[in-house]
Amino acid sequence: MLETLASHLDQIAALAPTYGYLFVFVFMAIESSFIPFPSEVVMIPAGFLAARGEMGSALLAVVIAILGSLVGAYLNYFLSLWLGRPFLEKYGKYFFVKKEPLDRACEVFNKYGSATTFVCRLIPVIRQLISIPAGISKMPLLPFTFFTALGAGIWSAILCFVGYVIGRSTSDISYMELVLKGKMMATDNLPIVVCGAIVLAALYVMVEKLVMNEK
């Protein structure tokens, strides 16, 4: 899918000066929902075009990506809240929610708690699905929003930064090469980012338990 979508980026990039931020919002909302869509195709070119002055601010692109991610995550959250797990397990396969990844996401969420909505936003495959067990478990909306925005923001910023660096250092590159090179760079450093996120999540859980025990 990544290669197929990247092959159409030349046409989309031509519209970036006018519709670039709209593309970022819409595609990141799709990426964050139950529809499989690679965020690398969106945010790496956004950073690349920003570096070349063809799409305004990279920082604004990240902010808009967070907003789009929240919209997609809210879709998963509220659908899961209203439909429940039995419905999703039975009919989820008809709208890209397979039972095994769903079970894994629910297992991780139930084992480690609400902070997983932050850490899992950085992990491929489970990234989109982690908002589903949050909805099933009726996680409070405010912490769900905070953790989702934080995780989506970090991931979007990483991809945008990678694209920005490539845009500054490379004179000529196709969008296919850009996405594949950027994905490799992001993937190589992902374990460090995930470990940092786990540490932050663990600290949050420890502080939360201390506060609850004091009450």
Query: How confident is the model at residue 66, as a pLDDT?
Result: 95
User: Helix H segments across the chain?
Assistant: 2-6, 9-13, 16-32, 40-51, 58-83, 85-91, 99-112, 116-119, 126-129, 131-136, 141-169, 175-214
Query: How confident is the model at residue 69, as a pLDDT?
Result: 93
Query: How confident is the model at residue 203, as a pLDDT?
Result: 60
Query: How confident is the model at residue 93, as a pLDDT?
Result: 73
- Rounded alpha-carbon distances, angstroms, from residue 153 to 12, 118, 146, 160: 23, 10, 10, 10
Nearest C-alpha neighbor of 9 from the set 180, 169, 187: 180
Q: What is the mean pLDDT of each run of 10 residues along the chain (215 residues)?
A: 56 67 91 83 88 86 94 92 82 73 79 79 78 88 90 90 86 76 77 69 56 46
- Rounded alpha-carbon distances, angstroms, from residue 94 to 2, 34, 105, 121, 135: 22, 11, 18, 23, 19
Query: How confident is the model at residue 53, as a pLDDT?
Result: 84
